[in-house]
Amino acid sequence: MNLHIEKTPVLLGEKAAALTASLLRQAISDNGSARLVLSTGSSQFETLEALVKEDVDWSRVTMFHLDEYVNLPETHPASFRKYLKERFLSKVTLAAYHLVDGNPDSIPSLTAELKKAPVDVGLIGIGENAHIAFNDPPADFDTRESYIVVNLNERCKQQQVGEGWFATTADVPAQAISMTAWQIMQCRHIISAVPHKVKAKAVADTLSHDTTPDIPATLLKTHPNFDLFLDAESASMIAE
């Protein structure tokens, strides 16, 4: 694991985006194309804002989407398809993209697209409960499916309310379609951009424990190419 601690979320975003862009350029130079997985949530704002300004031949990049609520319409403010369209897809013109549309019937076609070739870079957020994608604790580390339907736990729902996406936890959908922990680990390189004070405990738990489904992000530490970007606040509870 390569640990980077930047002063602010903006600096964190710039550094995480710069590394992402350099890996995409390398993949394009090696193979003629690149494949990228994007996560969403408030934690990815600064990274995506910096990433769209990077010098990458986006016409050679295919994007995959990490997770989406089951049956949430794209017009809802919390829709992650809406998020990616507004913050990424409207700013760069890609070779192709594959959004998770919230309909479990789409899982086989999404999986078929994903399995066509390895993903070069995964930008994988870490939640307040240390979830990766919507794999809440205890996460399923065993399934070899690419996407599964998961139930969201209360802590996860509270985070979504805290970030302002929903008014109450009762408004948060009960389920999501999530890329699995195993599939995330198949990315050739994983970059986690994790700013803000609300993540300090999840970060400290992730760094101080061995791999356990009870702290899903601990799995990322076993990846040979894992870069974790923190800011001063998210790093504030790491043990000396």
Ligand X SMILES: N[C@@H]1[C@@H](O)[C@H](O)[C@@H](COP(=O)(O)O)O[C@@H]1O
Positions touching ligand X (CB under 6 A) are 39-43, 66-67, 125-127, 133-134
35 or 157, CB closer to ligand X? 157
For the chain, state the CA radius of gyration.
16
**Buried-state track 73-83, b at ≥16 Cβ within 10 A, e below 16:** eeebebbbbbb
DSSP conformation letters of 126-190: B-TT--BTTBPSSP--S---SEEEEEPPHHHHHHHHHTTSSSSGGGS-SEEEEE-HHHHHTSSEE
134 or 229, CB closer to ligand X? 134
What is the closest distance, in whole angstroms, from the C-beta atom of residue 27 to ligand X in the complex?
22
What is the closest distance, in whole angstroms, from the C-beta atom of residue 21 to ligand X in the complex?
19
10 or 57, CB closer to ligand X? 10
What is the closest distance, in whole angstroms, from the C-beta atom of residue 40 to ligand X in the complex?
4
What's the rounded Cα separation, in Å, for the pair 113 and 109?
6
Residue sitting closest to ligand X (CB): 41
Q: Which residue has the tokens 């494949």?
A: 35
What is the closest distance, in whole angstroms, from the C-beta atom of residue 20 to ligand X in the complex?
14
28 or 126, CB closer to ligand X? 126
